[in-house]
Structure 1
Amino acid sequence: METVLNILLIRFGIIAGIVVVAGLAGFALIVSLRRRGKAERVREGAAALAKSAARAMDRRGARGVRGEVVRHAARWLDEDPDRKRSGR
């Protein structure tokens, strides 16, 4: 039993480490893109990709959490970044 728990703990540690490294890499990428002034171009590309994914999920009838997240991301990326949001 102890061996199984050790294996589960090691597996959890590896997965948590991968998630942390991926988060740090994503943050570093965002910061470097903003410094170079290319963030808007990346945002436009991501908006087009999110819109395409939202349309595909609508065609398949994906009404679950994934479909809602993709649709919300498409709306958020489509907003004007200079426009002030109400309530924020």
Structure 2
Amino acid sequence: MAERDPNLITSSLSREESRDGVTVRVEIYRLEDRPGWALEVVNGEGTSTVWDELFETDDAADAAFRETLAAEGMVAFLDGATVIPFRR
């Protein structure tokens, strides 16, 4: 019998956030059988910004989002701000 994939636990801190005419979806989640919360922000175009590190708590992940928002604003999550084109 095959093992089942672990469930994804979504934090109650996950939400839509709107500022300056920009709306993003803040996703904070973890796997049920592993510690560490992931932080992902998805903009209106579907572009995802994911933090490399996992956070000890969902509150810590939310604080990282808020710190980025305070320092850089919503522009940090727009396509042109987070996509680094590679030279062809």
TM over 0.5: no
**TM-score by structure 2 length?**
0.27
Structure holding more helix per residue: 1
Structure holding more strand per residue: 2
Which of 1 and 2 has higher RCO (CA within 8 Å, sep 6+)?
Answer: 1
Report the structure number with the largest CA radius of gyration.
1
